[in-house]
Structure 1
Amino acid sequence: MEEGFNSPLDVKDELKNQETNIEYDKDTKLEQDQQIKTKRVATLDAFRGLTIVMMILVDKAGGAFPRIDHAPWNGCTLADFVMPFFLFIVGVAIALALKRIHNIKYAVKKIMLRTLKLLFWGILLQGGYSHAPDDLSYGVNMKFIRWCGILQRIALVYCIVALIETFTTKLRPTTLTPQRLAIFTAYKWQWFGGFVAFFVYMITTFTLYVPDWSFVDHINGDEPRRYTVICGMRGHLGPACNAVGHVDRQVWGVNHFYSHPVWRHLKECTFNSPGEGPFREDAPSWCRAPFEPEGLLSSISAILSGTIGIHYGHVLIHFKGHSERLKQWVSMGFVLLTIAIILHFTNAIPINKQLYSISYVCLTAGAAGIVFSSLYILIDVWGIRTPFLFLEWIGMNSMLVFVMAAEGIFAAFVNGWYYEDPNNSLVHWIKKHVFVNVWNSERVGTLLYVIFAEITFWGIVSGVLHKLGIYWKL
């Protein structure tokens, strides 16, 4: 999976902030320590853990099961829910963590510091420096470094949404009026920020002129070859001439894109669609082009995912009854799903993860709201917590699991100890002899390897670390 987090608020801080207050200086510490602690909502960690599990599953098993890998262009698969689910829970966490701010300057400093940390780790892990897990080399040619990525997008969304929440702290109500839409009007500035992002994205997408462009293919073939893509149009939502790609080409340069975009799985590009395969002889030139799925304009649209998430967090803060919370959450979830279905099936705005279209925002945010509500009913309302403990543990240490498992850093470390040949390592031996050969199936063996050697293993590790009180602090 080309994308790939944790909420930017480190888990250790979140555990503290949901019980008392976030960000305090020495003068207010005594006052805040005396405040009444509130019950922790376990669903937050479980939802985050579920998202990490989804990421590992589609990352490691997507090659064997193309149907769960990213949709080549229009449409939505399991892998396409991972990024917006992260942004959704980031928004929920921001609302809870910043529900009381006594020192705005200090809060802004912490927000900016965490944003920079996310950017650093994003570039390090997905910029091309790390070649984990199978390639034991490291280093990146700065001419081709990838500036964008999963953590970079999360950093942008987190920074914008958290700063709006911080600077509007004095405008927040302590209680809501009985009006039906009071929760929306009480946080109108957060919604205003989301709608600004919406209008910027929509106006740019449908009015920006996209000229012809060219690129040099450095990957496919023995010698680099230049191709030209003919465009000269506006409002195009296909792979070749969309405004999302044009903006990124102007800002970052085509050499700094993700070099294996999922659109290569389209029928126009390969006979193996929706899986990966060699290019067709009559494949259009753009099939070989790089594309940035976490680019600038699509990340502006992604701010809406964080805005919807922070709304769910506001509901959690202001509505104390389970039925009141669920009424707000479920109704909004179904409204968003309805909007997405109408936009997609009328061909007005197709659901598209690569462009982060508005219909995609509505579909994934609505789905996140329904899943979050379902977990809330099971875990926090009915108290069925034991079956979901491993999700909670992973969610509490999601940054660690993301880096070590989803990004393959731990597997790369193990692969570094091999016998005679790099393929003779413990990781490769376990996958081949314990899973693939036993089941005599590459697909089944891969799936079971991911479930037991990746997901279950890191669930146990996260549980042990939780018992020891050890968390990745970002």
Structure 2
Amino acid sequence: MDEGGKRMEESMNVALDIDAKDDHVSKKEETRNIDEHEKDTMVKQKTKRIATLDAFRGLTIVIMIVVDKAGGVYPSIDHAPWNGCTLADFVMPFFLFIVGVAIALALKRIEKIKYAVKKIMVRTLKLLFWGILLQGGYSHAPDDLSYGVNMKFIRWCGILQRIGLVYCVVALIETFTTKLRPTTLTSSGRIAIFKAYKWQWFGGFIAFLIYMITTFTLYVPDWSFVDHVIGDEPKRYTVICGMRGHIGPACNAVGHVDRQVWGVNHFYSHPVWRHLKECTFSSPGEGPIREDAPSWCRAPFEPEGLLSSISAILSGTIGIHYGHVLIHFKGHSERLKHWVSTGFVLLAIAIILHFTNAIPINKQLYSISYVCFTAGIAGTVFSALYILIDVWRFRTPFLFLEWIGMNSMLVFVMAAQGIFAGFVNGWYYEDPNNSLVHWIKKHVFVNVWNSERVGTLLYVIFAEITFWGVVAGVLHKLKIYWKL
């Protein structure tokens, strides 16, 4: 077995949230033909983290910070208004891919199923709690210094909630099939690993069926909503539907399911479809809604809703497959051939579905073509990082990504969700805009470069990404990690 195979052989703890500190491998030399005395004296070697997975997780966090903080001035990297895929649209599926890989490593061996299930459920509840707290509307950071949420309008769904759901389903399948899956592959060939983990793929196939059948057969009736515009009298609008199989913004089954389950008041209030040409003259950027815009342009929409989260289970399923390949294929060449070929097949499926208009790539609906496209890209990027970090040993240039990846929950909360900037903004002079964060962004970056776009981008690179990379590196040296 080569050094890369030894280093990345397995993970011993149950790990799956976005910081996943438990993503490491325990190296244990096993010999079949040794006596009982030798078995008793075997010593576990020191555990090591998976550098590629940490770097990939860190890269995803970095992308998230860039698109969140700079997407307003660079619409081309912000979420696609409807069909299509931009840089921002890779963040969620990359997270779910990472979760899948981490589950495969963490649950390679399970001694007590009840204990594993308990840990899975507890961690799922933690993810749901933090998701609602951070994205439910309670926190108004970083610019609005108020806090609190009207429970009539609390948002129940979000990034961490979707991660929690996907993690729970994929991890439970992996746990309950522990006695049905092999420790080693008994036959060679690329198909063997699919057969060995057929129950994981069966779970993904069930999610696929539920999503496809519901999306294309569920009847969507007319629906209405109240537009609560600050300073204006609330106005009720009605969207005329009465159809099936619609995959446009107005009458899709994804939105209908969420309206029935959560209620329209609990949706994300500024959906990205407002950037469409039908809705604003500022398209593809954000701007005031046109007076002649269709009524649905003013409606809320939940991009992390229930039906689309069921489709997102497939992203986790594909990720866990890559983790299984990492476990069973010991050579670099074997792993990379399987990963890259799988990624190319997924990309081919996505491109065919999209450009034939059969099923367009759409993040808001989490369409099947979107699942395949983003998973294919995730697999390709993961393979590239594996070559650079674990095959060619170019680890030093990616250390800052590893540091962020090892403490990604901290960076997600403090940077991506703006909690740290909101705290700093709370210390201002005379006016809330006279705070350290605003001063640095305006005087150190925007005014120096005399450009809102360039200044914002440089602020994100140095005051956000570089700053938190250094913080994560210091915390790593101190062995301090925030995990769920």
TM-score (norm 2): 0.93
Number of the residue aligned with 2:5: none
- Structure 2 counterpart SS, 1:171: coil
- Mapped to 2, the partners of 1:155 and 1:403 lie a distance apart of 16
Relative distance call for 1:425 and 1:39 in structure 2 (3 A) is: closer
Query: Deviation at 1:171?
Result: 1.0
Are the counterparts in 2 of residues 304 and 361 from structure 1 also a CA contact under 8 Å? yes
Letter in 1 for 2:345: V
Contact 2:101/2:323 (<8 A) preserved:
yes
> 1:23-172 to 2 correspondence within 5 Å?
34-35=43-44, 40-172=49-181
Contact 2:141/2:419 (CA < 8 Å) preserved in 1?
Answer: yes
Deviation at 1:11, TM superposition (A): 3.8
SS of 2:23's equivalent? helix
Structure 1 pair 32–320 and aligned structure 2 pair: CA distance change class (3 A): farther
Q: Deviation string for 1:128-147 (max 9, x for gaps)?
A: 00000000000000000000
Q: What is the identity, as a one-letter code, of the residue corresponding to 1:318?
A: H
What is aligned with 2:188?
Answer: 178
Secondary structure of 2:232's counterpart equals: coil
Residue of structure 2 equivalent to 1:24:
none
The CA distance in 2 between the partners of 1:441 and 1:316, in whole Å, is 46
Name 2:359's counterpart in structure 1: 349
Amino acid at match of 2:418: G
CA contact (8 A) 1:19 1:40 kept: no
The residue matched to 2:461 in structure 1 has which SS?
helix
The 5 Å alignment of 1:7-406 reads 7-8=16-17, 11-15=20-24, 18=26, 34-35=43-44, 40-176=49-185, 177-219=187-229, 222-406=232-416
Contact 1:11 1:471 in 2 (8 A): no
Match status 1:449 vs 2:459: yes
Query: In the TM superposition, what whole-angstrom CA distance separates every residue of 1:349-385 from its partner, at most 9, and x where no partner exists?
Result: 0000000000000000000000000000000000001
Counterpart-to-counterpart distance in 1, 2:278 and 2:190: 49
1:329–1:370 Cα contact (<8 Å) kept: yes
Aligned equivalents of 2:48, 2:431: Cα separation in 1: 53
User: Alignment RMSD, CA only?
Assistant: 1.6
Q: SS of 2:22's equivalent?
A: helix
Q: Would you say the 8 A contact 1:220–1:288 is kept in 2?
A: no
TM-score by length of 1: 0.95
Q: Deviations over 1:144-194 (max 9, x none)?
A: 000000000000000000000000011111221113300000000000000
Aligned residues: 459
Preserved CA contact (<8 Å) 1:191 1:307: yes
Is structure 2 residue 427 aligned with structure 1 residue 417? yes
Q: 1:208 to 1:323 in 2, by over 3 A?
A: same
2:469 maps to 459
- 1:166 is aligned with what amino acid? T
Query: 2:99 is paired with a residue of what secondary structure?
Result: helix
1:389-443 deviation per Cα after TM superposition (whole angstroms, max 9, x unaligned): 0000000000000000000000000000000000000000000000000000000
Deviations 1:244-282 (A, max 9, x none): 000000000000000000000000000100000011111
1-structure distance, mates of 2:47, 2:403: 20
> Deviation per CA, 1:218-259, whole angstroms, max 9, x where unpaired?
126601000000000000000000000000000000000000
Equivalent position amino acid for 1:406 in 2: A
Give the C-alpha shift of residue 12 in structure 1: 3.6
Which position in structure 2 is the counterpart of 1:470?
480
